[in-house]
Amino acid sequence: MTTLWLVGIGTGNPDHVTGAAIRALNAADLILIPRKGEARSDLADLRRQILAQVLTAPVQVAEYDVPPRADQDDYLGAVNDWHDAIAQAWSGTIGAHRPDAANVALMVWGDPSLYDSTLRIATRLPGLTVRVIPGITSLQALTAAHAIPLNTLATPVTITTGRQLRDHGWPEGATTVAVMLDKGGAFTAIEPIDTHIWWGAYVGMPEETLLHGPLSDVAGEILATRSRLRAAHGWIMDIYLLRRGDDV
């Protein structure tokens, strides 16, 4: 029986890699590195750099190409098909390189629990036992970078996606909304009055860029900065926190 270790590695800063993550990577028989095309080659490079820093002895590494996701109206259907294809890519890579591996490690950006599909993909391979090493999330990195608490006193936090914010507006009853997986500018779909935003791109990485302020004042600057950074790097990872009320 092969154990698949899903190792959270934080948001690109090698200092985010925990002691537990380092031990799991060193104990692996095979480490998988996903390649997401030339535009996102930085992500594979960062994984290689982390391994170069934390491995104390040689461990076999195998890279695989992440299958593209179909662009179709049936979003959930497209995602499910995509996850099936990724699971097969994992299985094929393990079979080609170390079919006898007892421990296989896959480094996961941030943490596998938060808006990441790695755990769902792993269920498609019933021959694997799955273990998780938690990592620092982009949401933790964002609040740390801005030196703000995630929640206001005695109030809940809603975590959602750019798609949901754009399609359904401000979540009912929410005071603080964390928005992930935004293709860009979903915050323009909500009423900006009395709303504050803390935005970050590449949080925790050397390219980290932060902006914050009243949404009505900084929305345009965020959009322009995001466009500039995406053009410069070929890809972008950003996240933001929205808050309404007096406690900003």
Residues of the chain with CATH 3.40.1010.10: 2-136
Summarised one tens digit per residue, pLDDT across range 66-104 is 998 877 777 788 889 999 999 999 999 999 999 999 999
Residue 185: left (phi > 0), alpha (psi -120 to 50), or beta? left
Residues of the chain with CATH 3.30.950.10: 139-244
Summarised one tens digit per residue, pLDDT across range 224-243 is 999 999 999 888 999 999 99
Classified by CATH at the fold level, domain 2-136 comes out as Cobalt-precorrin-4 Transmethylase; domain 1 (3.40.1010)
pLDDT of amino acid 38: 66
pLDDT of amino acid 209: 98
Query: Interhelix angle for 41-54 vs 19-27, to 10°?
Result: 90
pLDDT of amino acid 41: 66
pLDDT of amino acid 39: 55
pLDDT of amino acid 245: 78
Is pLDDT above 80 for 118?
yes
Classified by CATH at the fold level, domain 139-244 comes out as 3.30.950
pLDDT of amino acid 45: 87
pLDDT of amino acid 69: 83
- Residues of the chain with pLDDT > 90, as a percent, come to 79
As given in the structure block, the two tokens for residue 5 are: 């270790």
Summarised one tens digit per residue, pLDDT across range 172-184 is 999 999 999 999 9
Any idea which residue has 């190792």 for tokens?
A: 7
137-141 mean pLDDT? 95
Q: Which residues contact 215 (CB under 8 A, 6 or more apart)?
A: 187, 190, 192, 195, 196, 197, 242
Higher pLDDT, 117 or 70: 117
pLDDT of amino acid 13: 84
97-120 mean pLDDT? 94
Largest distance between two CA atoms of the chain = 59
Confidence of residue 61 (pLDDT cuts 50, 70, 90): very high
